[in-house]
Structure 1
Amino acid sequence: MGAVKTKRMPRAVREQQMLDAAVRIFGQRGYMAASMDEIAELAGVSKPLVYLYLNSKEDLFIACIRREATALTEAVRAGVRPGLPADRQLWDGLQAFFAHTAEHPDGWSVLHLQARTHGEPFAAEVAAMRAEIVAFVTRLVAVAARAAHRDPDLPEGEVAGLAEALVGAAESLAAWANVTPGVTARQAAATLMNFAWSGLGNLLSGHVWTPPA
């Protein structure tokens, strides 16, 4: 009897299978501990095929970072509807962010923990994603300032600083929420919204805290 022939899988589909497996292994075991043998076994392919498609462990990890970063930024942007008040846009964006990181904990581990701690070029890939999200939040804060009709000329540096602080808080809160039982994406978003928007609301209303002399 001849060998049973199986239908050949398209390269793009096979590559996504490899990336799925790699994100899971990298996210759960870490970049250094992960092995190409494990990734190939989980993907159901041979190790030489992984190397053929993705060249090296480093290139595979970069491909994982790029895919997960793109998915996260697209999820946040898709969650925000233009034309709504700034606080509603921020709320929707936060919900989308926390929902995505909760649904893809291994991907978030790759971005937030693994890529940042293993130097270049991994950290640069995450920095590019983070810069895009910070720029997005910066625009929301600037829109809120103009909408308040109190400080339409809020200094650009201050707006950027607020956006950096908000994104940093969201990152830390997502990492905490993913390992804390019972914390939903909506609860995490509400926690940060209450923390951040109260301060932003005071700032836009002219109630600015001043350090002691």
Structure 2
Amino acid sequence: MSGTSAGAPEPEGALEPEGAPAPESAPGPRRRRVPRRERERQILDVAVQVFAKRGYHGASVDEIAESAGISKPMVYLYLDSKEGLFLACLRREADRLVGAFQGAATASGASPELRLHAGLLAFFAFVSEHRDSWVVLHRQASELSEAIAAAVAEARRAVMAEVADLVRAGIAEGGPATQLTDEDADFVTHALVGAADSLTDWMARHPDQSPEGVTLRLMNMVWVGMGRVLEGEAWKPVTG
């Protein structure tokens, strides 16, 4: 993306560019110039809501600009294009989600299961509290351009890496007799992340279910099951 993204570094307190179109407003006293970082945040806040409500193709830059209280040319000045605007929304919301998982997992204690529980709880809480963000991240992005699909894949890899580290740590705690391998850890990681993705749809159909309850159910399904395997138990189909 050639335009400025929400994550690009910029000087603290930088103002809107010289020559930028003035925000649309009624005649009156001159309004203060809004710092660039604040203006971009305002644009992205509105854009996430509009993209979630109307979808990528149904959303218009005109509506986003009007809702943000600025001119359409200013949106293009900041984010370059509609795709650039969507990418900036996607990257910001993905960073928030990954950051919530990492922060919770890091602060929750020493044992892998407690860290994983905290991370999953933060994930489901994020989805529950920021539904618009999740619609942008989960439902729309993968169906769009290669650049957007690549950004989605990058965010997913970040979550997968965090989960994989915790799964491997849990396997390592099983001791030297543990028979599970790195391939098993990778398998469990994909199963766990895939289940979490799918459960966000289940949560939308069951709004009475809390993030805490969903997290506990998933931990019991995956972590308890992995624990039994670490103890040497294995299921095999009985053939007649």
* Same fold (TM > 0.5): yes
Q: Which moved more, 1:108-117 or 1:147-156?
A: 147-156
Task: State the match for 1:99 in structure 2.
Answer: 125
- Could you say which structure has the greater relative contact order, defined with CA pairs below 8 angstroms and 6 or more residues apart? 1
Shift of 1:138: 0.9
Report whether the alignment pairs 1:146 with 2:172.
Answer: yes
SS in 2 for 1:31: helix
Q: Does 1:9 pair with 2:15?
A: no
Equivalent AA in structure 1 for residue 154 of structure 2: A
Deviations 1:112-137 (A, max 9, x none): 11101124111111111111111111
- Counterparts of 2:36 and 2:205, CA distance in 1: 35
1:90 aligns with 2:116: yes
Q: Whole-Å Cα distance in 2 between the matches of residues 21 and 39 of structure 1? A: 6
Tell me whether 97-106 or 169-178 shows the greater mean CA deviation.
169-178
- 1:28 corresponds to which residue? 53
Contact 2:179 / 2:230 at 8 angstroms: preserved in 1? no
1: distance between equivalents of 2:180 and 2:194? Answer: 21
Q: Distance in 2 between matches of 1:136 and 1:153?
A: 22
Q: Gaps spanning 5+ residues in structure 2: where?
A: 1-26
Q: Which whole-Å CA distance do the structure 2 matches of 1:212 and 1:157 have between them? A: 26
Q: CA deviation at 1:208?
A: 2.2
Q: How does 1:110-149 map to 2 (within 5 A)?
A: 110-149=136-175
1:19 is matched with which residue? 44
Q: Unmatched 5+ residue regions in structure 1?
A: none
Indicate conservation of the 8 Å contact 1:150/1:204, yes or no: no
TM-score (norm 2): 0.83
What is the root-mean-square deviation in Å for CA atoms of aligned residues?
A: 1.8
SS in 1 for 2:192: helix
Larger radius of gyration: 2
Aligned position for 2:213: 187
The Cα shift of 1:38 comes to 1.2
Are the structure 2 counterparts of residues 135 and 128 from structure 1 closer, same or farther at C-alpha, using a change threshold of 3 Å?
A: same
- Map of 1:68 onto structure 2: 93
1:73 and 1:212 map into 2 onto residues whose CA distance is 42
Cα separation, 2, equivalents of 1:117 and 1:203:
37
Matched pairs, number: 212
1:19/1:151 CA distance change after superposition, 3 Å: farther
Shift of 1:195: 1.5
AA matched with 1:86: P
2: CA distance between counterparts of 1:127 and 1:211? 36
Does structure 1 retain, via aligned residues, the 8 Å contact 2:178–2:230? Answer: no
Q: Does 1:208 align with 2:209?
A: no
Match for 2:125: what amino acid?
A: A
Residue deviations 1:33-56, cap 9 Å, x none? 111111111111111110111010
Deviation of the 1:3 alpha carbon = 3.7
Please give the alpha-carbon distance, in whole angstroms, between the structure 1 residues aligned to 2:90 and 2:120.
Answer: 21
Aligned mates of 1:87, 1:74 — CA distance in 2: 19
Task: State the alpha-carbon separation in 2 of the partners of residues 151 and 11 from structure 1.
Answer: 57
TM-score, normalising length: structure 1 = 0.93
Amino acid corresponding to residue 65 of structure 1 in structure 2: L
2:208 & 2:179 partners in 1: Cα distance? 42
